[in-house]
């Protein structure tokens, strides 16, 4: 029987029974830990969920410790085309370690990709939370006027979400259009003056990868509503998908507004 193929079309020689998995992506770590916790044999330093996760660490998504990973004797490594570097993935495959790569740029792709990864790569049935995520994201879209947003992910220099991203699709489903969705780059560097002149009526500031806060971010966009949102719910594809529409809708509806004296504390409570 031919081996299954991952999201990139690469054949992955998965063993008949997978007992040890190393994850190179926080979202995939949470996915496996919540679905089949006994499988997880290693994760990156950035894998923070579920809380109290106690597995060996293999450094970051962009600089994994390949010797450490090999020493954990995984039956399978799981990664993502956006999060992980091709040379690292090819090096692991060169050592004879099967690697399953996901490629996720929309909510629909996330639901399909995670189901395939769990069933075809890890050999476990689809969990109830994945069905719940499909239900909440399959509901009606918000009605009313849409908002036009800038979505920074970094400052010094300022970087924003561009075209073809999971983050952009999540926001679009919640009634927020990314003004840089048509940019040639996926995460372009844009001068702050140009961002302020783009014609947005909202700036969406997640708390990762850069940790924007009420006092660090909104002041760059005086007179513009700034929504401080959970980066995990905006950018992660995993169990967080179930509560993401509710959490993000509330946070998007509770913006702060910076003034020349600085940002006011946000109204309400963040998730």
At 149-163, the pLDDT tens digits run 999 999 999 999 999
User: What is the architecture of the domain spanning 147-262?
Assistant: 3-Layer(aba) Sandwich (3.40)
Domain residues of the chain, as ranges? 21-136, 147-262
User: What is the architecture of the domain spanning 21-136?
Assistant: 3-Layer(aba) Sandwich (3.40)
pLDDT of residue 259: 56
Sheet of 21-23, strand order: 40-42, 21-23, 76-80, 99-102
Q: Percentage of the chain with pLDDT > 70? A: 95
At 31-80, the pLDDT tens digits run 999 999 899 999 999 999 999 999 999 999 999 999 999 999 999 999 99
Residue 253 clears pLDDT 90, i.e. is over it: yes
Q: 265 and 141 in contact (C-beta within 8 Å)? A: no
Residue 263 clears pLDDT 60, i.e. is over it: no
With cut-offs at 50, 70 and 90, classify the pLDDT of residue 264: very low
pLDDT of residue 136: 95
Closest CA to 85 of 59, 60, 62, 57: 62
Please tell me the number of Cα atoms within 13 Å of 264 on its side-chain side: 11
Topology alike, domains 21-136 and 147-262 = yes
At 182-197, the pLDDT tens digits run 999 999 999 999 999 9
C-beta atoms surrounding 36 within 10 Å: 17
């Amino acid at each position: 029987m031919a081996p299954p193929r991952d999201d990139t079309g690469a054949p992955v020689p998965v063993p008949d029974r997978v007992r040890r998995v190393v994850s190179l992506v926080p979202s995939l770590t949470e996915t496996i830990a919540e679905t089949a916790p006994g499988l997880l044999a290693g994760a990156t330093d950035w894998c923070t969920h579920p809380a109290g996760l106690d597995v060996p660490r293999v450094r970051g998504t962009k600089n994994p410790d390949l010797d450490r990973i090999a020493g954990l004797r995984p039956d399978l490594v799981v990664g993502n085309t956006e999060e992980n570097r091709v040379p690292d993935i090819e090096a692991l495959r060169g050592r004879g370690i099967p690697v399953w790569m996901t490629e996720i740029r929309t909510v629909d792709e996330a639901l399909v990709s995670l189901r395939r990864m769990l069933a075809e790569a890890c050999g476990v049935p689809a969990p109830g939370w994945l069905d719940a995520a499909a239900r909440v994201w399959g509901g009606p879209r918000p009605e009313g006027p849409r908002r036009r947003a800038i979505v920074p992910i970094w400052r010094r220099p300022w970087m924003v979400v561009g075209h073809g991203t999971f983050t952009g699709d999540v926001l679009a489903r919640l009634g927020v259009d990314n003004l840089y969705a048509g940019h040639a780059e996926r995460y372009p560097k844009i001068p702050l003056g140009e961002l302020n002149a783009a014609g947005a009526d909202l700036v969406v500031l997640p708390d990762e990868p850069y940790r924007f806060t009420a006092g660090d971010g909104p002041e760059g966009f005086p007179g513009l509503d700034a929504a401080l949102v959970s980066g995990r719910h905006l950018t992660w594809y995993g169990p967080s998908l179930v509560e993401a529409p509710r959490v993000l809708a509330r946070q998007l509806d509770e913006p702060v507004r910076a003034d020349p004296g600085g940002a006011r504390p946000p109204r309400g409570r963040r998730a």
